[in-house]
């Protein structure tokens, strides 16, 4: 089954199609924090691109989910990232949680699959949602880096569509996430139940972090967008079902976020909500960033600077699409 998101980035953000190259990093500039997600190492082109990652030994990197579907993909990503960056953070996307058809009889499912991913990360010293949040004291800091894992609950749907009708509503437009077949919720009864359990756990951890560090901003790092109004999929709008939960809509305010970093949509963009900057940092499937390659850009140009990052606009402004980085 072809992932519906393969189409989304092809026609999104074209109204802001000027390149936005990253400024060169001055020598010995310490402590910038970068992010990228959805590098999908099952694709040969993306694996070759990962090998082009340049060393930034004073900096940090966030891998914001959908590295790939296998332990091999995680080993590849973590080995390369930790050899180039001082500190690496990772949170899972839906693809890391897949139990592929070839693993049907013996592969880990649900929480066990996630735990296997965490164990791989720990082999490389990569920080995950299972680790204590760490204080980042580089440029733009100090900030607490908070990787989270939340999933989705099908609440990103129109008000007139009942939960029990949500899948049928998406299928009316021939939209169905691969998750419905190979992302298992074990030991939970459903992905909604797993999502609710993750939300309760994450809320507790974020609340404790804010209480212990009342004057320190958080960088909240999760694969799925926190807010429904950030999900703009013009070609496959009903894919929104698998894009998050309305229960996190106010987390950027509740948990004192300076920046919220996410992926999943395969549409690079920057938004400001209240006093918080939101960054969607996907690379995506090869054809979705082919235009970047055609312009001579590579993975280093598509890393998104999280800290110190751009200044907030003086007045409210629309989304800044980052088709070219």
- For the chain, list the domains and their CATH numbers: 4-321 (3.60.21.10)
Strands 269-273 and 276-280: antiparallel
CB-based contact 42:3 (threshold 8 Å): no
Instruction: State the Cα–Cα distance between residues 51 and 49, nearest whole angstrom.
Output: 5
CB-based contact 282:40 (threshold 8 Å): no
Burial of 160 (0-12, 13-18, 19+ CB in 10 A): exposed
SS3 content of the chain, % helix, strand, coil (to 5): 35, 15, 50
> What count of other Cβ atoms lies within 10 Å of the Cβ of residue 229?
12
The answer to whether the peptide bond before residue 308 is cis (omega within 30 degrees of 0) is: yes
Distance of CA 175 to the CA centre of its chain: 21
Which residue matches tokens 């004192």? 256
CB-based contact 76:120 (threshold 8 Å): no
Burial of 272 (0-12, 13-18, 19+ CB in 10 A): middle
Positions of the chain with pLDDT under 70:
1-30, 316
Instruction: State the Cα–Cα distance between residues 79 and 75, nearest whole angstrom.
Output: 6
What letter would DSSP give residue 32? -
Q: What tokens were used for 99?
A: 């139990």
Rounded alpha-carbon distances, angstroms, from residue 99 to 70, 113, 194, 204? 9, 8, 16, 29
Instruction: State the Cα–Cα distance between residues 37 and 31, nearest whole angstrom.
Output: 20
Instruction: State the Cα–Cα distance between residues 21 and 296, nearest whole angstrom.
Output: 11
Average pLDDT, the chain: 92
What letter would DSSP give residue 15? G
Rounded alpha-carbon distances, angstroms, from residue 216 to 23, 41, 152? 27, 35, 28
Burial of 298 (0-12, 13-18, 19+ CB in 10 A): middle
């Amino acid at each position: 089954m072809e992932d519906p998101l393969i189409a989304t980035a092809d026609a999104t953000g074209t109204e802001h199609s000027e390149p936005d190259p990253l400024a060169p990093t001055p020598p010995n500039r310490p402590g910038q924090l970068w992010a990228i997600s959805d590098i999908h190492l099952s694709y040969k082109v993306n694996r070759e691109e990962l090998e082009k990652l340049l060393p930034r030994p004073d900096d940090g990197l966030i891998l914001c989910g959908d590295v790939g579907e296998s332990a091999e993909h995680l080993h590849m990503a973590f080995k390369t990232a930790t050899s180039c960056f001082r500190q690496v953070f990772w949170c899972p996307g839906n693809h890391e949680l897949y139990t592929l058809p070839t693993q049907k009889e013996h592969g880990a499912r649900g929480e066990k699959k996630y735990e296997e991913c965490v164990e791989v990360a720990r082999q490389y010293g990569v920080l995950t949602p299972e680790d204590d949040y760490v204080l980042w004291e580089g440029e733009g800091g100090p900030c607490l880096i908070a990787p989270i894992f939340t999933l989705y609950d099908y609440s990103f749907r129109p008000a007139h569509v009942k939960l029990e009708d949500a899948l049928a509503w998406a299928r009316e437009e021939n939209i169905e996430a691969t998750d419905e077949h190979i992302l298992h919720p074990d030991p939970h009864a459903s992905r909604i139940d797993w999502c609710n359990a993750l939300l309760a756990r994450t809320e507790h951890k974020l609340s404790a972090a804010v209480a212990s560090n009342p004057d320190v901003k958080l960088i909240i790092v999760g694969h799925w967008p926190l807010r429904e109004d950030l999900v703009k999929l013009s070609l496959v709008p009903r894919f929104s079902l698998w894009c998050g939960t309305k229960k996190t809509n106010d987390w950027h305010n509740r948990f004192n976020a300076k920046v919220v970093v996410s992926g999943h949509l395969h549409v690079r963009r920057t938004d400001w909500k209240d006093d918080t900057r939101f960054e969607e940092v996907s690379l995506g499937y090869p054809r979705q960033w082919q235009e970047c390659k055609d312009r001579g850009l590579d993975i280093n140009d598509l890393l998104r600077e999280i800290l110190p990052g751009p200044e907030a606009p003086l007045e409210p402004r629309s989304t800044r699409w980052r088709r070219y980085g």
